[in-house]
Amino acid sequence: MDKSLNQKRRRRAIIAFEMIRLDRTAAEPIHHQLYRQIRDELASGSFNHNSSRLPSTRALAAELGIARLTVKLAFEKLHAEGYLRARSGSGTFVADSLPETFLSPDKATAKPQKERPARLSERVKNIPDKRVGKQFDVGIAGSPGVSFVPALAAIDEFPIEVWERLRAQVLASKGAHLLQYASSHGDADLRKAIAAYLCDFRGARCHPDQIIITAGTQQALMISALTLVNRGEVAWIEDPGFHQARRAFGFAGATVVPRPIDREGIVIARSSQQASPKIVFVTPSHQFPLGMTMSLARRTALIEFARTRDAFLFEDDHSSEFRFTGPPLPCLQGLDNSGRVIYAGTLSKILYPSLRLGYLLAPKQLVDSMIKVRAVMDQHSSAIDQATLARFVSEGFFLSHVKRMRKLYADRREFFIQQFNLLLGDRFVLQVPEAGLHFVAWLRKPAELPLITRAAVEIGIRPTPLSFFCMKAELKPALTFGFAAWSHAQIREGLLKLAAKLK
């Protein structure tokens, strides 16, 4: 500020030409290098912004020996961020007030923090670790090619262009309203569409008010556990069973008790000495991971058990859409007259997992508390996604997608069975369930498990050992193979590779 006009003029020239160092070998594009260096110079604050005019893009390009378009790109970015302003006819100037004050000029020199070890909460220490390392972590998402990881579906078949078109439609029709805070209960149209779907196709009994939109099944588990379970109260889970239920209930403070599975489903305690469970996690339509369907007799007995013991049943109806043989049974919720079943479903797993939308169908008396829990946890789910999904379901795209995928999966399933028995039938007995997107393959020679697992990992094939899903259950060694996400060629390639490796 105390500089003379002359010095200021010289200073401008310095910014423009001399301070800039462009490195043509760097990964950072030239226009971004230029943008960054000008920005940093402006932000250093040693400027009289008001009167600083930048050289023309033409002059600067000539001086630096780069294309004029490159300079323009940098200027546009600086302009968009508010560092520059254009005065029509008289060139580009530094903005009157910079967009932000840079508060940490020496950020590059910030020292590593010296941190004293944190005292974490007990519940964090109680989250069971995932046993098979990064099996369900990011890794799987990115890994291309066939891996037979059970959790994966054929997301490349999702009609994302239809989805985006519906999204544009709901944005056009509902406008800014969709951008505002929304209900913790969930989008009313979506709740209506889901209630209709569950009544029509799953034999559920419900009113749209009983539907609560969640950020997926994991959150549905957390909401249920946090609403019902006090620290130390008992939660039953199926053993073997869905490991994420164990994690959620444990995190909520429950004493998690594994219950064995027989041919009809979860075994109900005979002794009345045992502490009654507050909540019981079950997968009646397709036991995860073993695949049996819970018998009608067991369903009735379970509901009666819940009624007399004042327990709630958490019904995870995860694979009901992908049933390939045998008649469907109505969901547990539809058999229940006493409001003991919390039904959880997912739409995002059928559409695409990163959407993070699911729902609870709750007994009426739990609805308000669950909405309150959702509000405290994270308020609500994306309103645009919810509105888009409502339209996707109510206009029939959901059903037609399910139908198309069921055909595709039935075909891949047949092919997998045939190829697997052909190529690996000497080592495994493949168990074929009526529903779901994975198989359990039992080892003919139990002792071979470590050998086979190691061989699979070495060639990038990652079926999950059945033991991963067990707490106390001692089952014969088996691997679970997903088949849904891969083409015939990929399935054959993966199985061939594994068979060759095992030779």
Tell me which residues in 333-392 interact with a second copy (CB under 8 A): 334, 336-339, 352-356, 363-366, 369, 372-373, 375-385
Whole-number minimum distance, CB 441 to a second copy, in Å?
A: 23
Q: Which residues of 171-198 are buried (b: 16+ CB within 10 A; e: fewer)?
A: eeeeeeebeeebbbbbbebbbbbbbebb
Select 152 or 261, whichever has its Cβ closest to a second copy: 152
Shortest distance in whole angstroms from residue 473 CB to a second copy: 22
**Is residue 247 a contact point for a second copy (CB under 8 A)?**
yes
Decide if residue 1 touches a second copy (CB under 8 A). no
Q: Which is nearer to a second copy, 364 or 488 (CB)?
A: 364
Q: Which is nearer to a second copy, 10 or 372 (CB)?
A: 372
**For residues 312 and 356, what is the distance between their CA atoms, to the nearest angstrom?**
25
Per CB under 8 A, 119 contacts a second copy? yes
Residue 152 engages a second copy in binding (rule: CB under 8 A): yes
Residue number, 185 or 497, with CB nearest to a second copy: 185
User: Tokens 């059945």 label which residue?
Assistant: 466
Query: Do the Cβ atoms of 477 and 449 come closer than 8 Å?
Result: yes
> Contact letters (x/-) for a second copy, 431-470, by CB under 8 A?
----------------------------------------
Residue 280 found at the interface with a second copy (CB under 8 A): no
In the complex with a second copy, which residue's Cβ is closer, 372 or 444?
372
Q: How far is the CB of 384 from a second copy (least distance, A)?
A: 7
Residue 115, phi-psi category: left (phi > 0), alpha (psi -120 to 50), beta (remainder): beta
Q: Is 425 in the site for a second copy (CB under 8 A)?
A: no
Alpha-carbon span 499 to 503, nearest angstrom: 6
Among 138, 270, 447, 489, binds a second copy (CB under 8 A): 138
CB of 215 to a second copy, least distance (A): 4
Query: In angstroms, what CA-CA distances link 223 with 130, 150, 231, 362?
Result: 21, 25, 15, 11
Q: Report if residue 480 touches a second copy, rule: CB under 8 A.
A: no
3-state secondary structure of 138: helix
Q: Is residue 402 close enough to count as binding a second copy by CB under 8 A?
A: yes
Element (H, E) at 86: strand 84-87
Closer residue to a second copy (CB): 352 or 442: 352
Residues 34 and 16: their CA atoms lie apart, in Å, by: 10
Cis peptide before 240 (omega within 30 of 0): yes
The minimum distance between CB 419 and a second copy, in angstroms, equals 24
Q: Is the peptide bond before 289 cis (omega within 30 degrees of 0)?
A: yes
- 123 versus 454: smaller Cβ distance to a second copy: 123
Is residue 282 within 8 Å of 293, Cβ to Cβ? no
Cβ burial, residue 168 (10 Å; 0-12/13-18/19+): exposed
Binding window for a second copy (CB under 8 A); candidates: 45-53, 57-65, 120-128, 414-422: 120-128
